[in-house]
Amino acid sequence: MNIEGQQILFSEEVIAAKIKELAEQIKKDYANEDVILVCVLNGAFMFFTDLVKCIGPSENVYVDFIMCSSYSGAESEGSVKFLKDMKLNPKDKNLLLVEDIVDTGHTMSTLMSLFKVRHAKSVKLISLFDKPERRLVDIHPDYVGFKVDKNAFIVGYGLDYNEKYRNLPYVTCLNPDKL
């Protein structure tokens, strides 16, 4: 399944290999500590699921979910709307926010500040995709899968355009005519 001849930027195999590499680093970094992996819904759901599976069984890994939005179509609105909060208490816990893509940085900056106010022991960020050239706030993911061109609007593997294309098993750049 391909979007009308669009070039695949990141195949299933390339994504899987990168996630395995990231999971190995996370296992090392949190080897002797509890950590709550927090999936930032909706976009990160595929990345999160595969990352958790690659980390494997562990008594010190917990999972939770948060949902917020700062996008309408292809543009960031700048403000962050909270739609679902975590169930677990972040106080005195290590949190690893699992995000699909960091673009302007507004959402992640807001979330990281929120969890610091809630007295998390540590708050780190992993993003499968990163667009550092589009950053409007000073935020830097602790773990990054792939850097993406600032002008590319990517979809697939959880990333969407108006809730479409999330189910693609690969990542492609959406043609500007579709926006």
The residues annotated with a catalytic role in the active site are 103
- What is the rounded CA–CA span in Å between residue 118 and residue 128? 25
Whole-angstrom CA distances from 60 to 96, 106, 119, 170 are: 13, 30, 19, 31
| Cα–Cα dist 138/106, whole Å | 9
Cα pseudo-dihedral 46, 49, 53, 59, rounded to 10? 160
81 burial (CB, 10 Å; 0-12 / 13-18 / 19+) is: exposed
For residue 157, give the nearest of 20, 39, 43 by alpha carbon.
Answer: 43
| Helix-helix angle 45-55:12-29, to 10 degrees | 60
The answer to whether residues 123 and 116 touch, using CB atoms and an 8 Å cutoff, is: yes
Residues 6+ apart with CB under 8 A from 178: 3, 161
